[in-house]
Chains A and B, each alone.
Chain A
Amino acid sequence: MCSARKFYYECVFKYVREFGGTLPRGSLHFHAFQNESYRVKTAYLHAVLGPGNVDYGFVLQQIVFGLTLGCLYGLLAIGYTMVYGVLRLINFAHGDLLMASAYIAFFGIIIFQIPWPLAFLLSVALTAAIGILIDRGAYKPIRNSPRISALITAIGISFLLENLGLVAIGGRPKTFPTPSLFEGSQTIAGVQIPNLSIWVFLVTCVLLAGVMLIVRRTKVGMAMRALSRDMETVRLMGIDIDRVISFTFALGSGLAAAGGILWCMKYPAVEPFMGVIPGLKAFVAAVIGGIGSVSGAALGGLILGLGEIVIVAVWPDWSGYRDATAFSMLIIILLTRPTGIMGEDLPN
């Protein structure tokens, strides 16, 4: 029996002992206990094993969860940071692209009966197209206006996407059809690792490598980096900055789509406002890692993901405040090192 299971039963026995007597399987307490996984398990971890002893199995498990979440945040954060680096614009609609990709994949599989690999690819492509559309339609006309106009437009687009989703598709959460390839788990060294986590990690590594390659080795990437320094000069050099910006949006949106699909397989509820909080956290991750830096965004995502999971694991009473972790990290970073871990001061 793997140690996680052993631990679980230990907790059950302790619980039963406290309640004095046996606990029939169907009883309310038993089910309540089962659903209390995080809180009770970690609380009893300290009780059963004492504060000095660490159950490495449990710790590794949490690290795996944290890394998975971190990769997802990282994928989303890269798109955010690229657009901010090039346009100095916080694209509030970025989180809603996650929602869009989820819905496209969902409808592709459920309604149009497309095989899931095709549906996923289609979702990524269409989301990238939506990203370009938003840029050309809404952001391009106000590129030369004061920054606050662009921010207001971005919020407007974000809200529009969310409410369009609400009106067109309805607010009730739908369950994402996760293909069987991504279900189940492996047991390595006594730790249960969901297959999805392995896939997330692989996909993130591949995509991250791809983006770094594009940014560092291709002409477009060089143009992107130049744009983030000085837009006027790049324009004077005869480079079509509209195409470079569209490419940036496409790349970022595609990554957001990949992150979105993987996110849905981890948290299968698809609803119109699902992208709001992840989007916010992704920006925080980008700031932590250093806004404008792709590797920084990935690093920031990992830090944020691990931080969230670890804090809840160590202080289970505060699990309701999980979402507030990102906010606190943002404040800390702004107080201590505003340029982020890997960032430099972007010229204004």
Chain B
Amino acid sequence: MLGKSTFCGEALFCTKVLPGHFRNAFCITSESEERAYVAAVRGMSDTLQRNDTRITPGRDRMLTCVSLATFLCFLWYADSYFGDYSIRILNNIAIFTMLAVSYNLINGVTGQFSLGPNAFLAIGAYTSSLLTLSPEEKLRTFIIEPLVWPISEISVSFPVSIVAAGVVAALLALLMAIPVFRVRGDYLAIVTLGFGEVIQVVANNVVSVTNGPLGLKGLPPYTNLWWSWGVCLLTILCVVRLVNSSYGRAMKAVREDETAAEAMAINAFRTKTLAFTFSAFVQGAAGGLLAHLITTISPSLFTFMLTFNLLIMIVIGGLGSTTGAVIGAVLVTWGGELLRAFEEPVTVFGYTYEGIPGMRMVIFSVLLVLVMLFARSGIMGRHEFSWQALINRCHLIGNFLRRHS
């Protein structure tokens, strides 16, 4: 059916302003357009499909593999030839993509507003760090109060610590889910926000476990491009498969109408808990990766600003779309780096513009509110990427250009 869209899609395309075409071609969003589309498609069943390329499942898989291989080659090249700054950005993008995809699972797919990522990130970072440091290093770092036994003796390998970080975060998420998801209401936001504050308080005060405000230094820099992107791609794969299964459908049903979902025998509590715990697991693992990337962690690192950045990423990308989360993460991480310029002093033609610290966050907040007010669906809306859709759009643009040249 999508193949036929080439023609009527063109018809719709030519009557719309260019920005609208982005989604209009085959991701139609308004009711009247839907009806027009259906009518057009049915009315022209015998019109030839020009330039119609059907992507079979086999071709789909091949395209995905080829692009994955290309990306891995790029990673190898980057690892060998890129400078430290670029590698740092690539690592950041990987970790934030992972975070955004998991955050989108609970906020976008299941529709439950959580503000928890920074807490789970902190938990994962500390768990993973405490597990990878050797006993001697621990002795050296914990100068105020000695580290409590048995953590002071345990030292495990990096992959195990990442998994452990995820598990600990997931367990805490499970504990929180029980009081919160049993109750109808918007309490998840406040509980997770409060939890973030509590984690900071705990991290600062339980000096025998977290070393208090001093934090943990000298963490071995295990995270490289392969680790960060490897785990990130694995996460994306798992999330996509989960969303495409019955569990994902149940999450979407809970988002759309929880009462109706329950009337259709969906246990809303279990569904929400699954999404929340899964995303906490990923966020914990990401915390471990992050800790071993920046090699120093302290309680003041995991503030609400982190969660806010993630929120912007998934909103801009499209709340509910995994592809959107990836796009949003890349854009915001990159854009954030660019916007840093606003905060540095810059000299142009003899004029020195004194940087305004904090301006970046003001711009981001304004951006979030504007997107919410005027472009709530974000870039992808709730649609996901598919090769078929991409090919169709290329045809559309090609036809348009051909007709108007």
Contact = CB atoms under 8 A, between A and B. Distances in A.
| A contacting B, Cβ–Cβ less than 8 Å | yes
Interface of A: 88, 90, 138, 141-142, 145-149, 151-153, 155-157, 159-160, 163-164, 166-167, 171, 276-277, 280, 283-284, 287, 291, 320-321, 323-324, 326-327, 330-331, 334-335, 338, 348
B111 A321 contact: no
Interface stretch (B56-64, B73-81, B180-188, B283-291): B180-188
Given A159-B364, A323-B197, A334-B183, 11 more contacts: A149-B376, A151-B186, A153-B368, A155-B311, A155-B368, A156-B369, A167-B362, A171-B358, A287-B187, A321-B205, A330-B191
B295 to A, nearest CB: 27
B361 A159 contact: yes
Nearest to A283: B190
A319 to B, nearest CB: 9
Nearest to A346: B185
Contacts of B184: 348
Contacts of B205: 320-321
Interface string B360-387: 0110111011001100100000000000
A280 B368 contact: no
Interface residues of B, number: 47
Nearest to B187: A334
A324 B201 contact: yes
A327 B197 contact: yes
B315 to A, nearest CB: 6
B191 A331 contact: yes
29 contacts: A88-B186, A138-B373, A141-B373, A146-B111, A148-B111, A148-B112, A149-B372, A152-B372, A153-B373, A155-B115, A159-B308, A163-B362, A167-B358, A280-B190, A280-B194, A284-B194, A287-B190, A320-B204, A321-B201, A321-B202, A321-B205, A323-B197, A323-B201, A324-B198, A324-B202, A331-B191, A334-B179, A334-B183, A338-B183
B247 interface: no
B195 interface: yes
A142 B372 contact: yes
Given A280-B194, A320-B205, A160 B113 contact: no
B113 A151 contact: yes
A320 B182 CA distance: 30
B72 interface: no
Contacts of A155: 115, 308, 311, 368
Contacts of B202: 321, 324
A265 B356 CA distance: 30
B368 A156 contact: yes
A-B residue pairs, 5 tightest by C-beta: A160-B365, A156-B368, A320-B205, A334-B179, A327-B194
Given A90-B190, A327-B198, A148 B107 contact: yes
A330 B319 contact: no
A153 B372 contact: yes
A346 B228 CA distance: 45
Contacts of A327: 191, 194-195, 197-198
B156 interface: no
A148 B201 contact: no
Contact of B190 (A152, A167, A330): A330
Contacts of B201: 320-321, 323-324
A323 B372 contact: no
Given A146-B111, A348-B184, A90 B365 contact: no
B27 interface: no
B108 to A, nearest CB: 9
B179 A331 contact: yes
B196 to A, nearest CB: 10
A282 to B, nearest CB: 10
Interface string B314-344: 0100010000000000000000000000000
Dominant SS at the A interface? helix
Contacts of B55: none
Given A90-B190, A280-B190, A327-B194, A152 B368 contact: yes
B359 interface: yes
A220 B122 CA distance: 46
Contacts of B372: 142, 149, 152-153, 156
Contacts of A153: 368-369, 372-373
A141 B361 CA distance: 23
Contacts, number: 116
Contact of A280 (B179, B197, B357, B369): B197
Interface string B21-32: 000000000000
Contact of B194 (A146, A326, A338): A326
B189 interface: yes
A331 B179 CA distance: 7
Nearest to B363: A163
Contact of B362 (A157, A160, A280, A323): A160
Interface in B202-219: 202, 204-205
Interface in B145-191: 176, 178-180, 182-187, 189-191
Contacts of B315: 152
A335 to B, nearest CB: 5
B193 interface: yes
A276 B305 CA distance: 13
A167 B373 CA distance: 24
Contacts of B356: 167
A148 B185 contact: no
Contacts of B304: 276
A142 B304 CA distance: 24
B259 to A, nearest CB: 8
A277 to B, nearest CB: 7
A152 B113 contact: yes
Given A163-B358, A334-B180, A156 B190 contact: no
A141 B255 CA distance: 21
A335 B359 CA distance: 41
B365 A163 contact: yes
Residue of B190, B311, B368 with highest tally of chain A CB at under 10 A: B190
A320 B201 CA distance: 7
A166 to B, nearest CB: 4
